[in-house]
């Protein structure tokens, strides 16, 4: 099967929305991130929402229930060239639903870049980001250096879902997505030349 990508083909980026908590703030931040992603030429954007995986068991038993829960999600991860993972921080770490979704996949993450965006209270979700760096390293993914983080996120956005002061977050998003795009193209070309692990 020919796995080469046509020259000039869009870079496929999947945004993973990592919270499934009732009353979550994540969709507000995700919509803002999607605006930045969709404003860039040469990207094809998909979304995977952890809230859509409520039926995914934690036993990692690949039975009918798990296959049904993953039927629409796994192809979006497998087909991606790069990821943006948006996470809040729960008890100094990653939400359980996000960790479960990550753990259900392996080759889908391999040799691909992951940008990490976070939100929360005083820490802005950065402790969860540092845990995700360790997790994705184990899965042979490459996390980009720069992040986007919203401290006291609920107070940082207005009623229309826009940052009250967009200067710093817009600059951070540009830097993060510049890095993600570079790594996305570089690793896609590398995977086409030599399958990862060979």
Q: Domain segments of the chain: what residues?
A: 11-193
Residue of 157, 127, 180 lying closest to 31 (CA atoms): 157
Mean of per-residue pLDDT scores for the chain: 94
Would you place residue 132 in the very low, low, confident or very high pLDDT band (cuts 50, 70, 90)?
very high
One CATH from 1.10.240.10, 3.30.470.10, 3.40.50.360, 3.30.365.10 for 11-193: 3.40.50.360
176, 86 Cβ separation under 8 angstroms: no
Residue 66: what are its φ and ψ, rounded to 5°?
-65, -45
Under 8 Å CB-to-CB from 145, ≥6 apart: which residues?
179
Q: What is the pLDDT of residue 134?
A: 98
Supply the pLDDT for residue 119.
97
Q: Return the pLDDT at 143.
A: 98
Give the pLDDT band of residue 1 (cuts 50, 70, 90). Answer: very low
Q: Which residue has the higher pLDDT, 53 or 38?
A: 38
First CA to last CA distance, the chain: 17
Instruction: List, in order, residues 6 or more apart from 10 with CB less than 8 Å away.
Output: 42, 43, 44
- pLDDT, tens digit (0-9, with 9 covering 90-100), for 145-177: 999 999 999 999 999 999 999 999 999 999 999
Q: What is the pLDDT of residues 55-66, one digit of tens each?
A: 889 998 889 989
The Cα 38–Cα 15 span in angstroms is 11
Q: What is the largest CA-CA distance in the chain?
A: 51
C-alpha dist (Å) from residue 182 to 5, 43, 81, 172, 177: 16, 12, 11, 16, 8
pLDDT of 165 reads 97
């Amino acid at each position: 099967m020919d796995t080469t990508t046509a020259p000039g083909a869009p870079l496929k980026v999947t945004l993973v929305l990592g919270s499934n908590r009732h009353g979550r703030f994540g969709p507000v931040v995700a919509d803002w991130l999607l605006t930045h992603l969709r404003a860039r030429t040469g990207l094809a954007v998909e979304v995977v929402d952890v809230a859509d995986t409520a039926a995914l068991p934690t036993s990692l038993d690949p039975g009918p229930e798990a296959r049904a829960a993953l039927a629409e999600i796994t192809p979006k991860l497998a087909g991606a060239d790069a990821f943006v993972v948006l996470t809040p921080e729960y008890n100094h770490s990653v939400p359980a639903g996000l960790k479960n979704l990550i753990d259900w996949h392996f080759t889908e993450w391999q040799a691909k870049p992951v940008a990490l965006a976070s939100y929360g209270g005083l820490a802005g979700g950065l402790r969860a980001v540092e845990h995700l760096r360790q997790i994705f390293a184990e899965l042979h993914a490459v996390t980009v250096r720069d992040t986007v983080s919203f401290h006291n996120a609920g107070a940082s956005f207005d009623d229309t879902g826009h940052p009250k002061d967009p200067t710093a977050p817009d600059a951070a998003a540009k830097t993060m997505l510049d890095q993600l795009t570079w790594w996305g193209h570089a690793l896609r070309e590398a995977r086409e030349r030599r399958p990862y692990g060979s």
